[in-house]
Amino acid sequence: MRRRSAGRPDQDWSDAQRLRYWWQAERELLLRALNAVPPDDAATPLADGAWSPRGMVAHRLFWEAEERAAIEEYLGGAFPSLLDFPNGRIDSTNASAVESLGDRRLTALVRALADLRSRTATLVERIPDEDINAQGNPARILLGVALEHDREHRRELETRFGAARSDG
């Protein structure tokens, strides 16, 4: 089956086509929302007890690297170790990620996030559609979790700063 990558998904798309589309579209929406953050607000928490936009990107950059490694494991024939990540370590891992990357400028972090997604996309294209179409498949789970993660953080930004406007 030929993959479609332009335009909005329609009813005759497979789950794999739809999932790939939204995996990339949610990232683009997140990046657009991040680019709309006023420079003076980059280090200001989005809400009481929440991360700043800069911390959010540092957090998402860390997990994108983990997701990429998990896809590499999957493509190499191994079960992605990320899917066995202990829930009890998530908070401390998030804190470490934000602390280690959070002092960089927001614009630099956003560029790094866009670059890493571009490199991850080349791996995602190598995953067979049949794998992504199969319920419970590790690749399908990884892509679904990643797009929901981006969606969650995009919505946090939009709650604080409003929806980013399209360039077109």
How is residue 145 written in tokens?
């979790």
d(CA 131, CA 25): 21
CA distances to 40, 43, 68, 78, 120 from 81, rounded to whole Å, are 38, 32, 11, 8, 17
d(CA 51, CA 3): 37
How is residue 43 written in tokens?
């280090």
- What's residue 2's pLDDT? 44
Q: Which tens digit of pLDDT belongs to each residue from 68-116?
A: 999 999 999 999 999 999 999 999 999 998 888 767 899 999 999 999 9
- Give the mean pLDDT of 119-132: 97
Nearest alpha-carbon partner for 5 in 117, 132, 19, 168: 19
Lowest model confidence (mean pLDDT) among 6-10, 103-107, 139-143: 6-10
- What's residue 1's pLDDT? 41
pLDDT exceeds 90 at position 150: yes
Q: What amino acid occupies position 87? A: N
Structural contact between residues 161 and 47, judged by C-beta atoms closer than 8 angstroms: no
pTM of the model: 0.87
- What's residue 98's pLDDT? 87
